[in-house]
Structure 1
């Protein structure tokens, strides 16, 4: 997925000249309005590209604003090089207009007192700047304000090695989050070294890839025995369908697992599919791509609310929307594919576990 070039549009250029978090939020709001007008007018993959180009420009500007605020607060300039990185949907360049924060920091060199105090304050301040600009803080605390996701490169190397050795549910979950890492601002070299270390740990590591597969094959049931779409039975979303966890995330997880298996370093799901196709080893990749585009299209069209210029969505399709015959057919076909793929992966996992001594 290529990054869109916004240089021809002053609305996007204005993002990078914002001088405060409040100004950044106002320019984001103006930009979102333009993007919403383009939704369903251009192909969904191009629209997502534009949305994520906006997010990247906001994040890069937030980093610059934060550096200026740190200087004003008496911390001075950054004591060394650092990299601001993103995970989750932002890492995959699949963030919606209502995505929250999923980010971290890589700091150059060994940790000392000056770096510790500076980047602890910087991480907290940057998370606050992003929140003001419209990005809710992550419930799972995957943010540069948290020590787990803010480390020097040597500390990161140690932490990644530890996660790779443990092979338990929680450290493997952290590795899965980390696998979507993408550089956004700061030192490109630090991010590249981090990626090199991460993927070296997966190379020829059968136990680790099987541990990721174990996490991958867990998902909520989305079809009944007759192949009919299962909707929510109770609660606020009764009759609706969870697009994010019912369709989008299972496809992301399947493609990610195959990509890690083959050392593919791209974080975008569509780019990962392109690289997998080049291997000429897997069937159904074009079906997966079509299902993934359906998932993206459905996800960005879920009902949303607007408060103070910012969007929020539950990621559920309402019962009435699901009555659209074409949409329901596309959804059912995509879910049937996900079910077949999951069954194949479950068989692969059982076979691998039987072979283990």
Structure 2
């Protein structure tokens, strides 16, 4: 990420100086313009690193803007230390230029009335500021404005323990979302302690690992019996292919499952693969890496629309692009790998369930 031509770009460096949501949005759009010019010119992993560095600086600036606004509104400074954290593609440092919000707050110490009032208002304000800057609110409500994702550290630890003990679809889904957590602003010590609490729950916990695996193998069919790519049959994206949920997310899920199984601390999929390779336990990691880079490249090149300077995309490869033989061949190879991996994981799941029954 730290290349000279990028760091010396004033549009990138000046993000931190934004004093209002409107100014921060303008700086984001200026920075985004530079990034679009670099797309497909530099390696995809380098490009995404720059995109996510931009998102992190914007989030850090938004946090500072909100602290100032809280003072102006009469709430004063934060009553204690806190950490602003991100999940989803932002947590994995794989966010696109159009990714929405996936974030939360960790608040220091035991809950009390002062903290509750301050951080409830702060969380809602921060989510609103991020929306104003161009980050759509999460449909699944994984945001610091929501009590489920805004808690003191002791409350967070109890919630993580609860999710780990229930082993049902919904709490395990929340746990999987949480496992992509990454620190962005505030007290890094709080984020570190939070992460250690999450990983501690997986140590020698075969039933929890099996429950995560059960969620991981859920996957919609993307190839027919002849190995041909299945495209959307109806609707706005008829003839297109959902690259996000068809190939990108399945690969993310597979690598995350292995990461949790072995206590790997890295948040990005590429870094997780690198750490898993050091274990010497798995074949196909190089194949997974190639397929994942292909998925990343395809995802950031899906058609997008521009409104008020901001980008949006469906994450579907257009039907016209699927006529490109090289693209279609790379997509099919990636999907064949995903199918083989899923079948292997399904066999592992059946074996684990027999042992634990």
Q: TM-score range with shorter-chain normalisation?
A: over 0.9
Note the C-alpha offset of 1:3: 6.8
Aligned equivalents of 2:14, 2:2: Cα separation in 1: 17
Tell me if 1:112 matches 2:88.
no
SS of aligned partner of 2:141:
coil
Aligned equivalents of 1:166, 1:29: Cα separation in 2: 44
Note the C-alpha offset of 1:7: 3.5
- The Cα offsets for residues 147-174 of structure 1, whole Å up to 9 and x where unpaired, read as 0000000000000000000000000000
Aligned equivalents of 2:237, 2:196: Cα separation in 1: 43
Aligned equivalents of 1:268, 1:234: Cα separation in 2: 34
8 Å contact 1:67–1:77 — kept in the other structure? yes
8 Å contact 2:207–2:356 — kept in the other structure? no
Aligned twin of 2:92: 92
Aligned twin of 2:288: 288
8 Å contact 1:241–1:319 — kept in the other structure? yes
Aligned equivalents of 2:302, 2:7: Cα separation in 1: 30
Aligned twin of 1:44: 44
8 Å contact 1:4–1:50 — kept in the other structure? no
Aligned equivalents of 2:275, 2:178: Cα separation in 1: 20
Note the C-alpha offset of 1:4: 6.7
Contiguous gaps of at least 5 residues in structure 2? none
Tell me if 1:331 matches 2:324.
no
Aligned twin of 1:196: 196
8 Å contact 1:85–1:181 — kept in the other structure? yes
8 Å contact 1:105–1:149 — kept in the other structure? yes
Note the C-alpha offset of 1:103: 0.1
Aligned twin of 1:243: 243
Mark the CA change 1:4 to 1:157 in structure 2 (over 3 Å): closer, same or farther: farther
Aligned twin of 2:277: 277
Aligned equivalents of 2:53, 2:198: Cα separation in 1: 25
Runs of 4+ in 1 over 3 A off after TM superposition: 2-7
TM-score (norm 2): 0.99
Note the C-alpha offset of 1:104: 0.1
- The Cα offsets for residues 264-295 of structure 1, whole Å up to 9 and x where unpaired, read as 01110000000000000000000000000000
TM-score (norm 1): 0.99
Aligned equivalents of 2:9, 2:214: Cα separation in 1: 46
8 Å contact 1:83–1:105 — kept in the other structure? yes
Give the paired residue count: 356
Mark the CA change 1:168 to 1:63 in structure 2 (over 3 Å): closer, same or farther: same
Aligned equivalents of 1:257, 1:306: Cα separation in 2: 36
Note the C-alpha offset of 1:214: 0.2
Correspondence 1:116-135 to 2 at 5 A = 116-135=116-135
